[in-house]
């Protein structure tokens, strides 16, 4: 590439606009799209009105709706819905919007997480690091407890609570300027206070139903989402993600450190505030439609960074696709219930363990080069864990779709733990941005 850049001007422009896209990133994006589509189809096919994956695919790609201007106007602008058959109605009016909202939530949280990891120069930062999650949780509780007549405003109150927490964090951190450490500490302060107040408010709720819906809000749930939520989240997402993607280059400079960034001509305080504010808009709009879905904003940029390296143009582009894949997959788990998840995960782990073990025994070069002679341990662990999960699921009565839906935030949280466990075992130093 070096030789070409010197001889032709063409490749120079390519370098700036598309030169950073590499095969790994494209592969990651393709896999993510496949996971999102598959997860979406599974999601669409399950429920009280059940259908096969093929039927679901047929309903989703039904040209009489896909190319129907009236239908899209109804979905996106909220006008009256045109005539459609029962299956199309259920798929398009109830199940598809849930998948779309989940995808938007995944995108927003993942991109916001990537921004915050750069702004705070901390790879364990998440969109909630500046007190946003507890701030919006407080907003939700305040609405439920003091303004029980205004529960339709909960999305707005959640977003406002998060944004107010962010402003408070900045006000506390500001001392002739900010620094990543000051911001994170102020985030802890504001988060703790909001968290305590929010927990305190639970004692004032008398109705167990209200407690449950408040809990669903603060763990994050996609149950009952509708085109209305799509209309709510889409515009904010598009704008904030666009700005974040354009800001990726600036994030690359910001992670070089404050002094270097300033020497390179960056207005560090403005860049930091502006990029954080954009990420807060993305986060708040995600919270407004799905509540506080944990771990997505932490894991996704982290996974993407591990795969594609630390160039933020790549991280943001990757997060944009991996985020929806994770949330969609997790929501399938939330929809189908713990036993199905255990069977699926157990089967995947078991197969991976078998492949690794057999590959090692047969002398596969891919296994040998990666694990040396030490492939028996991970393979053994995978076999035991996979078999254990299948056994547990069998003891619990087989892979039955559960009646009650879990909040999706619980599933993402359960995915987050093992991921970091894996990281801690595999990687020597955690901390490269």
Partner 1 sequence: MQTQDTHYEDAQPSDATTDSALVGTDLEIGYPTLEEPVVTVDRIDVPEGEVTALVGPNGSGKSTLVKALARQLSPDAGEIRLNDRNIQSFGQKELARELGHLSQENTAPDSVTVEDLVYHGRYPYRGFFESVDDADERAVERAIDLAGIDHLREKSVGNLSGGQKQLVFIAMVLAQETDVLLLDEPTTFLDLHHQLRVMETVRRLNEERDVTIAIVLHDIAQAARFADNLIALDDGAVYDWGPPTDVVTEELLEDVFDVDAAVRYTPDPEIVPKRSL
Enumerate binding residues for partner 1 (CB under 8 A).
1-2, 5-6, 9, 12-13, 15-17, 176, 246, 252-253, 255-257, 259-260, 262-267, 309-311, 432-433
Q: Which is nearer to partner 1, 260 or 376 (CB)?
A: 260
Cβ-based burial of 333 (10 A; exposed 0-12, middle 13-18, buried ≥19): buried
Q: Which is nearer to partner 1, 199 or 267 (CB)?
A: 267
Question: What CA–CA distance (Å, rounded) separates 276 from 240?
Answer: 11
Angle in degrees, 0-180, between the axes of helices 180-202 and 132-146, rounded to the nearest 10 = 20
Q: Which is nearer to partner 1, 253 or 345 (CB)?
A: 253
CA dist 179 to 183, 269, 277, 331, 345, Å? Answer: 6, 9, 16, 36, 41
SS3 21: coil
Q: Which is nearer to partner 1, 268 or 367 (CB)?
A: 268
Q: Which is nearer to partner 1, 239 or 255 (CB)?
A: 255
How far apart are CB 17 and partner 1 at their closest, in Å? 5
Q: Which is nearer to partner 1, 81 or 255 (CB)?
A: 255
Q: Which is nearer to partner 1, 176 or 209 (CB)?
A: 176
Q: Which residues contact 389 (CB under 8 A, 6 or more apart)?
A: 342, 343, 345, 346, 349
How far apart are CB 276 and partner 1 at their closest, in Å? 17
Tokens of 403: 């009646």
Question: What CA–CA distance (Å, rounded) separates 76 from 64?
Answer: 17
How far apart are CB 121 and partner 1 at their closest, in Å? 9
How far apart are CB 19 and partner 1 at their closest, in Å? 8
How far apart are CB 303 and partner 1 at their closest, in Å? 15
Q: Which is nearer to partner 1, 18 or 404 (CB)?
A: 18
How far apart are CB 43 and partner 1 at their closest, in Å? 35
Question: What CA–CA distance (Å, rounded) separates 204 from 267?
Answer: 46
Q: Which is nearer to partner 1, 81 or 307 (CB)?
A: 307
How far apart are CB 321 and partner 1 at their closest, in Å? 20
SS3 353: helix
How far apart are CB 105 and partner 1 at their closest, in Å? 28
- Taken in order 391, 397, 400, 402, the sign of the CA dihedral is negative
How far apart are CB 308 and partner 1 at their closest, in Å? 9
Q: Would you give the end-to-end CA distance of the chain in angstroms?
A: 25
Rg (CA), the chain: 23
Q: Are 103 and 55 in contact (CB under 8 A)?
A: no
DSSP letters of 282-346?
HHHHHHHHH----SHHHHHHHHHHHHH-S-HHHHHHHHHHHHHHHHHHHHHHHHH-HHHHHHHHH
């Amino acid at each position: 590439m070096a030789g070409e850049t010197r001889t032709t001007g063409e490749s120079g422009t390519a370098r700036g606009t598309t030169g950073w896209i590499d095969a790994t990133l494209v592969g990651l994006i393709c896999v993510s799209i496949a996971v999102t589509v598959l997860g979406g189809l599974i999601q669409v096919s399950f429920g009280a009105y059940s259908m096969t994956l093929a039927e679901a695919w047929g309903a989703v790609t039904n040209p009489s709706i896909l190319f129907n201007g009236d239908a899209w106007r109804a979905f996106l602008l909220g006008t009256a819905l045109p005539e459609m058959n029962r299956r199309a109605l259920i798929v398009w009016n109830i199940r598809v919007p849930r998948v779309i909202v989940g995808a938007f939530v995944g995108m927003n949280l993942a991109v916001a997480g990537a921004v915050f990891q750069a702004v705070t120069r901390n790879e364990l930062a998440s969109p909630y690091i500046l007190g946003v999650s507890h701030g919006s949780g407080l907003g939700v509780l305040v609405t439920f407890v003091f303004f029980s007549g205004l529960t339709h405003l909960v999305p707005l109150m959640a977003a406002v609570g998060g944004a107010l927490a962010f402003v408070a964090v900045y006000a506390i951190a500001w001392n002739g300027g900010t620094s990543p450490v000051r911001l994170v500490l102020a985030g802890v302060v504001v988060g703790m206070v909001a968290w305590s107040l929010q927990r305190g408010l639970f004692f004032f709720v008398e109705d167990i139903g209200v407690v449950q819906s408040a809990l669903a809000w603060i763990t994050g749930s996609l149950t009952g989402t509708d085109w209305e939520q799509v209309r709510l989240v889409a515009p904010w997402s598009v704008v904030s993600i666009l700005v974040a993607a354009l800001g990726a280059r600036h994030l690359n400079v910001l992670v070089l450190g404050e002094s270097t960034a300033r020497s390179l001509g960056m207005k560090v305080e403005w860049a930091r505030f502006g990029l954080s504010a954009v990420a807060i808009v993305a986060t708040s709009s995600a919270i407004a439609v799905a509540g506080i879905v944990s771990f997505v904003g932490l894991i996704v940029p982290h996974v993407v960074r591990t795969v594609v390296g630390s160039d933020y143009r790549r991280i943001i582009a990757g997060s944009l696709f991996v985020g929806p894949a994770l949330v969609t997959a997790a929501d399938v788990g939330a929809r189908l219930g713990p036993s199905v998840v255990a069977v699926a995960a157990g089967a995947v782990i078991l197969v991976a363990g078998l492949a690794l073990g057999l590959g090692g025994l047969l002398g596969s070069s891919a296994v040998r080069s990666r694990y040396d002679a030490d492939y028996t341990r991970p393979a053994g662990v995978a076999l035991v864990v996979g078999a254990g999960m299948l056994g547990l699921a069998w003891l619990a009565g087989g892979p039955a779709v559960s009646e009650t839906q879990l909040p999706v935030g619980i599933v993402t949280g359960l995915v987050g733990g093992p991921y970091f466990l894996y990281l801690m075992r595999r990687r020597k130093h955690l901390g490269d941005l």
